[in-house]
């Protein structure tokens, strides 16, 4: 679990390529910058506590990434890390921590599902994860990924209502939201890491 961010860092290039799809094109660059800082924080950390590492990494991510997604993904990680308890990492508790993170994210972004953002990946993922509370965290996480992927794909048919892409209005249709795509990569990567944890 401690290595989640190292694995995410390996996705940097891939996230960078998502950049050109919509908005002002800085999403990939910002994510890479944020993930590098998060990765460094985890490497330099004096703690082995996963919850502490996640929130510390979130703070670094937020500072370094900048932009809307920096603040939004940052608050998700910080809130989730703060809520998590290292001795209670079962599926139900992790889903609960993520749900609080999502709530804070929505509050900060004044946003919700259906507005063509990363929330459209994250929200169905968490809803699905909660239904797999009887599974191990790793198995539950895998089981919830298809819901996240469906949500991410659905952003292609949505009209942007938040962030810079909202200015495109109807023209934003037909492209997936970059934040929704980077969110699925992060969730998938965490899933891979959980398998080997």
Query: Is position 151 an interface residue for ligand ADP (rule: CB under 6 A)?
Result: no
Least Cα distance to 78 among 93, 107, 98 occurs for 98
Query: Is position 12 an interface residue for ligand ADP (rule: CB under 6 A)?
Result: no
Answer for the pair 65, 111: CB distance below 8 angstroms, yes or no.
Answer: no
Could you say which DSSP state residue 142 is in?
A: H
Of positions 74, 81, 113, 178, contacts ligand ADP by CB under 6 A: 178
Query: Is position 162 an interface residue for ligand ADP (rule: CB under 6 A)?
Result: yes
Answer for the pair 9, 43: CB distance below 8 angstroms, yes or no.
Answer: no
Nearest distance in Å: CB 66, Mg ion: 10
Q: Which whole-number Å values give the CA distances from 42 to 4, 59, 173, 180, in the listed order?
A: 9, 11, 38, 24
Separation between Cα atoms, residue 179 and residue 160, nearest integer Å: 12
Of positions 27, 39, 104, 176, contacts ligand ADP by CB under 6 A: 27
**Cβ count near 141 (within 10 Å):** 26
Q: Which is nearer to Mg ion, 27 or 162 (CB)?
A: 27
Separation between Cα atoms, residue 194 and residue 185, nearest integer Å: 14
Six token digits for residue 2: 């401690």
Size of the site for ligand ADP (CB under 6 A): 21
Nearest distance in Å: CB 138, ligand ADP: 26
Sole residue written with tokens 């492209």? 175
Of positions 12, 26, 139, 192, contacts Mg ion by CB under 5 A: 26
Of positions 51, 62, 91, 117, contacts ligand ADP by CB under 6 A: 117
Of positions 36, 40, 93, 164, contacts ligand ADP by CB under 6 A: 164
List contacts with ligand ADP (CB under 6 A): 23-24, 26-27, 30, 67-69, 72, 109, 111, 117-119, 162-164, 177-180
């Amino acid at each position: 679990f401690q290595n989640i961010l190292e694995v995410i860092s390996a996705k940097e290039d891939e996230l960078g390529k998502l950049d050109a799809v919509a908005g002002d094109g800085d999403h990939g660059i910002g994510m890479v910058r944020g993930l590098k800082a998060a990765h460094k924080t985890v490497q330099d950390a004096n703690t082995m506590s996963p919850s502490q590492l996640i929130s510390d990494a979130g703070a670094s991510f937020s500072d370094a990434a900048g932009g809307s997604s920096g603040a939004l993904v940052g608050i998700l990680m910080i809130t989730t890390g703060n809520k998590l308890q290292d001795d209670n990492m079962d599926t139900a508790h992790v889903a609960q921590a993520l749900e609080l993170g999502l709530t804070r994210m929505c509050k900060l972004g004044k946003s919700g599902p259906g507005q063509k953002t990363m929330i459209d990946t994250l929200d169905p993922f968490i809803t699905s994860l909660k239904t797999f509370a009887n599974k191990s965290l790793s198995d539950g996480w895998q089981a919830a990924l298809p819901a996240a992927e469906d949500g991410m794909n659905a952003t292609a048919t949505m009209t942007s209502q938040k962030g810079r892409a909202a200015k495109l209005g109807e023209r934003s249709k037909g492209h997936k939201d970059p934040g929704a795509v980077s969110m699925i990569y992060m969730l998938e990567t965490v899933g891979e890491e959980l398998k080997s944890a």
